[in-house]
């Protein structure tokens, strides 16, 4: 494995069809729409609606239902952490990447739709929770292949903008899906779906499955034709023979730009993964350090959204309606931040954008600790969300610029694993500070500590060697 991008090989390759600036606008649009579709799963199924339904009284006591849900999601988290790099490793050919993305997206759609059958009875609790957990695993696996498309699709000169538009499209799509569900299915329920047997809540699963499929289908149909970056650094365009197929599972194949990697068993795959990490350590320790630092501060950024509604209601006196309105505004502001941050990423480099965003998060959070009242939360809370979007989008591009060619899926899988490995930090410190200082508002301090540690690790991360990155174009 080498960290040098071979421009000579790229020029000499007869199959190099995609221009240096990456894929066409149509392919970028398809890529962004996929995020619009799958983000609805997080906002509707996992966060605000369906898991709330599964932990409601008809399924049992709140302690029992919450424990079952927590256990299922913990198992799902371990499954992702242990296997995401291997899934990414196996998707580092055009055909395999298309197959993994499409196959896991279909599993996500199926799990979401089947959740309709989780009737409000204790006997159906495990069915509903199991489907939600399985869907989260499928989504994470498909996201690994999705992220791995970014370096070849965007190219070095617009990677920040494309990543920012993807994140922004996800925020916008998720909030529109959530708003439609809340007002159409739940309250006031303008669609008129009967509430008997919780049919309105169960119908949310069918709507979510349809939403995911509609927005993800364009990329699923053309996944085999997306640009692909091979081990020699060349970006390979779609084959003239490639035709739209449902996820590339049938039809004329795109020629593989590299010789297929040897298939190993699970132990062999992990040996190959550890060899890749050792190679990264030798060639560019910046990549390894960034994986660690980003895992920490990304957990802090996730905590902003995880505990935002809790703080709004518990510490600032927001009603349920006000929480919903704030959630809509927060996602739209985060989308705006991602759009603007993407352009700054290409102009200034992702490291600068991430550093500035994390500093902004810490300033807004610190002010919120000492400024009371609803106006304070509206101003500081939205400021927090404004900085979260560009930090998340730029993190994806910084890694994309550091990954050695041909290892995109494998390293983005490792990116998912490191994130899962430290996902206990923000929730744990939030609860610890609340317990120690006796007020919920001090939980913000726990989130800020996680962000500060991640920022410190990022600042200590060495700059990558010359020629290894296109971070500043």
For residue 385, CA distances in Å to 144, 168, 181, 294 come to: 24, 12, 22, 18
The torsion angles phi and psi of 249, rounded to 5 degrees, stand at: -85, -10
Q: pTM for the whole thing?
A: 0.80
pLDDT surpassing 80 at residue 359: yes
Tell me the range of 328-337, 341-350, 436-445, 452-461 where mean pLDDT is highest. 452-461
pLDDT surpassing 70 at residue 1: no
Average pLDDT, the chain: 81
* C-alpha 208 chain-centroid distance: 17
pLDDT at res. 296 = 92
pLDDT at res. 242 = 39
pLDDT digits (tens, 9 = 90+) for 14-43: 333 334 455 588 899 999 999 999 988 988
Q: How confident is the model at residue 358 (pLDDT cuts 50, 70, 90)?
A: very high
pLDDT at res. 355 = 95
Q: Which two tokens stand for residue 195?
A: 């509430």
| 459 contacts 392 by C-beta, under 8 angstroms | no
pLDDT at res. 58 = 92
| 273 contacts 108 by C-beta, under 8 angstroms | no
pLDDT digits (tens, 9 = 90+) for 108-154: 999 999 999 999 999 999 999 999 999 999 999 999 999 999 988 88
pLDDT digits (tens, 9 = 90+) for 270-282: 777 777 778 778 7
Burial of 309-347, coded b for 16+ CB within 10 Å and e otherwise, reads bebbbebbebeeebbbebbeebbbbbbbbbbbbbbbbbe
pLDDT at res. 23 = 59
The more confident residue out of 355 and 405 is: 355
Percent of the chain topping pLDDT 90: 34
pLDDT surpassing 60 at residue 264: no
pLDDT at res. 464 = 64
pLDDT at res. 254 = 39
Q: How far apart are CA 361 and CA 388, in angstroms?
A: 7
pLDDT at res. 277 = 78
pLDDT digits (tens, 9 = 90+) for 168-203: 999 899 889 988 988 899 887 899 999 999 999 999
Tell me the range of 88-92, 276-280, 382-386, 431-435 where mean pLDDT is highest. 382-386
Q: How confident is the model at residue 326 (pLDDT cuts 50, 70, 90)?
A: confident
pLDDT at res. 203 = 95
pLDDT at res. 49 = 84
Percent of the chain topping pLDDT 70: 84
Structural domains for the chain = 7-252+264-460 (1.20.1250.20)
pLDDT at res. 471 = 36
Pick from 85, 235, 87, 216: which is nearest to 150 by CA? 235
Q: How far apart are CA 113 and CA 288, in angstroms?
A: 39
pLDDT at res. 265 = 59
* C-alpha 123 chain-centroid distance: 32
| 103 contacts 155 by C-beta, under 8 angstroms | no
pLDDT at res. 83 = 85
pLDDT surpassing 60 at residue 3: no
Q: How far apart are CA 354 and CA 47, in angstroms?
A: 26
């Amino acid at each position: 494995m080498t960290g040098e991008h071979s421009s000579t090989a790229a020029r000499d390759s007869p199959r190099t069809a995609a221009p240096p600036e990456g894929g066409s606008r149509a392919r970028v649009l398809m890529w962004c729409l996929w995020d619009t579709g799958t983000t609805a799963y997080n906002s509707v199924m996992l966060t605000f609606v369906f898991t709330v339904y599964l932990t409601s009284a008809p399924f049992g006591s709140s302690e029992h239902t919450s424990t079952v849900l927590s256990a299922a999601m913990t198992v799902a988290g371990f499954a992702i952490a242990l296997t995401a790099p291997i899934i990414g490793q196996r998707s580092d050919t055009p055909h395999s990447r298309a197959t993994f993305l499409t196959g896991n997206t279909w599993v996500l759609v199926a799990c979401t739709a089947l959740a309709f059958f989780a009737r409000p009875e204790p006997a159906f609790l495990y069915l509903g929770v199991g489907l939600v957990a399985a869907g989260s695993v499928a989504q994470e696996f498909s996201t690994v292949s999705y992220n791995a498309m970014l370096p070849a699709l965007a190219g070095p000169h617009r990677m920040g903008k494309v990543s920012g538009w993807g994140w922004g499209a996800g925020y916008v799509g998720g909030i529109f899906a959530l708003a439609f569900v809340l007002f159409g299915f739940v309250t006031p329920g303008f669609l008129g779906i009967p509430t008997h047997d919780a049919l309105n809540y169960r119908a949310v699963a069918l709507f979510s499955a349809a939403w995911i499929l509609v927005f993800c289908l364009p990329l699923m149909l053309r996944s085999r034709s997306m640009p692909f970056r091979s081990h020699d650094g060349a970006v390979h365009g779609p084959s003239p023979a490639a035709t739209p197929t449902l996820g590339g599972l049938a039809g004329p194949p795109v020629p593989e730009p590299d010789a297929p990697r040897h298939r190993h068993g699970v132990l062999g795959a992990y040996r190959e993964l550890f060899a890749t990490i050792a190679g990264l350590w030798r060639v560019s320790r910046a990549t390894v350090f960034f994986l660690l630092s980003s895992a920490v501060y990304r957990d802090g950024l996730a905590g902003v959204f995880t505990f935002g509604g809790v703080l709004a209601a518990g510490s600032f006196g927001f009603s349920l309606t006000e929480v919903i309105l704030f959630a809509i505004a927060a996602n739209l502001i985060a989308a705006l931040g991602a759009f603007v941050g993407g352009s700054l990423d290409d102009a200034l480099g992702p490291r600068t954008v991430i550093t500035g965003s994390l500093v902004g998060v810490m300033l807004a959070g610190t002010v919120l600790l000492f400024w009371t009242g609803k106006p304070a939360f509206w101003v500081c809370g939205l400021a927090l969300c404004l900085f979260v979007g560009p930090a998340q989008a730029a993190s994806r591009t910084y890694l994309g610029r550091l990954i050695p060619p041909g290892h995109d899926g494998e390293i983005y899988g490792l990116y998912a694993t490191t994130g899962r490995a430290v996902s206990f930090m923000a929730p744990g410190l939030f609860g610890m500070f609340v317990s120690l200082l006796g007020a919920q508002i001090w939980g913000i301090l726990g989130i800020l500590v996680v962000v500060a540690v991640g920022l410190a690790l990022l600042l200590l991360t060495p700059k990558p060697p010359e020629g290894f990155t296109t971070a500043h174009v």
